[in-house]
Chains A and B, each alone.
Chain A
Amino acid sequence: MKTIHLITAAAGLAIVAGCATQAMGPSEAEVDAAANAALKSSFTEKGIAKLDRLQQDAVQKACSGDKAPPAEVTAKLEAEQMASIKWPSDGQWLGDWKAGEKLAQNGRGMTWSDPAGAKSGGNCYNCHQMAKAEISFGTIGPSLYQYGKIRGVTDPASPASQAIVKYTWGKIYNAKAYSACSNMPRFGHVGVLDEGQIRDLMALLLDPKSPVNQ
């Protein structure tokens, strides 16, 4: 009688153990601990790329899974990011599209091999189609070819254009204000691009004379 009990108990344990190793794999806590330990032991600072780059803010933390966070989480994050946008200090929205095109072509900046204090590029063509003449464009983001034209912007200074002009500034400044887990960097929010540079990109997108709108 005793023996039977022991055998049953042992079989039960074996089934539990079998489940634990085959079906379940490591627990969430074990995985978190292993990933954090790997981060700690693997990375060192180099040049301008310091270790604080591994410290995630609320957006990065929420958008680091293989699935999008719940709608109420993204809504809250978007509201917070929106509130932090700085609109142009002098009410001037557009700069020079020629400077904007140069900036859009430039994918440099912020890597450990970039010198401290160097101005960053806009990285636009890495992910977006823009002017038709440039065939070397990426596709991670949507095409921005004729961005202003298809939105009916004939005079960016007109009241009719105000909504799209403001949205475009906000999107470049902080893409996460409109889509919390967007792939697009927060160029103004983190200070990668300054106001003048954003104005030039605005002109590239919205100036009717810009090659983007031909």
Chain B
Amino acid sequence: MSKTALALFSAAAALIGAPALAQKSAADGIAEYRAMLADGNPAELFEAKGEELWKTKRGPKNASLEHCDLGKGPGVVKGAFVELPRYFSDTGRVQDLESRLLTCMEAQQGFDAKAIAATGFGKGEQRSLEALVAYISAESRGLKFNLPQSHAAEQLMYAAGKKLFYMRGGPYDFACATCHGEEGKRIRLQDLPALYKNPGDGVGFASWPAYRVSSGDLWGMQRRLNDCYRQQRFPYPGYASDATIALATYMGVNSKGAVSSAPALKR
């Protein structure tokens, strides 16, 4: 599977690199390549692993995550993803899926949430989180985003997220809005979703977590935002930190009504 994907990717990369080809045929080639890939999304493998991890007794307390409350009551997975981030009264925080999973892994399984947050992407328990977010988001595939905004903390998180979205900084003066503040823009050939509004079904916030063919990894929203900030030339945002949750709240509320395609497939 991954060898085929790699070969296809190389073919598409060759297409992109060929300067003699007209704009349209390159775009067509990429669309074709994406269609071929869509037949079998490797994210399914992560979903299966995530479901097993959810149900398996693990950690110092030898417990499963089946009593984890993702916002719709203990153990309810279906529909939870499209209502996150939201406020949780037990932690007194607005939390996204990954932050909430850390809470459950610590409280119920006895893992050290801080240590997992400090672990690099694709390593150790971060691997478990990749699979878990694939499984949990897949259980909401086809549902519409509908983040709650009734709690004052949720409203404040949205407003702070908007502030951070437009905040310029770093050596290049970039904000999130520099790339995602207008419709129909792209970097090189990569289309950029307009994230100050609802960019549509399965676009932007509604398409993560996703399997990335180019790196062969499953990226959650935390990893997506982390790499955005890297390219924005900002310092390093902590995993499940408030800045990333605020941005997710901003994008998620803006995406109200958008159908989730997560875990999606990306180049």
Contact = CB atoms under 8 A, between A and B. Distances in A.
A127 B187 contact: yes
Given A44-B235, A136-B16, 4 more contacts: A111-B233, A135-B22, A137-B188, A183-B178
Chain B interface, >50% SS class: mixed
Contact of B155 (A25, A50, A186): A25
Interface of B: 16-17, 19-23, 26, 152, 155-157, 159-160, 162-164, 166-175, 177-179, 182, 184-190, 192, 196, 230-231, 233-238, 241-244, 246
A190 B190 CA distance: 27
A45 B192 CA distance: 27
A137 B23 CA distance: 10
A6 interface: no
Contacts of B22: 135
B234 A53 contact: yes
B242 A42 contact: yes
B186 A138 contact: yes
Interface residues of A, number: 51
Contacts of B175: 64
B235 A32 contact: no
Contact of A41 (B174, B182, B242): B242
Contact of A34 (B156, B177, B185, B186): B156
Interface in A30-49: 30-32, 34-35, 37-39, 41-46, 49
Interface string A124-157: 0111000001111111100000000000000000
A43 B21 CA distance: 43
Contacts of A110: 170-172, 233
B180 to A, nearest CB: 10
Nearest to B190: A138
A42 B238 contact: yes
Smallest CB-CB A-B distances: 5 pairs: A42-B241, A42-B243, A46-B236, A185-B172, A38-B242
A43 B196 contact: no
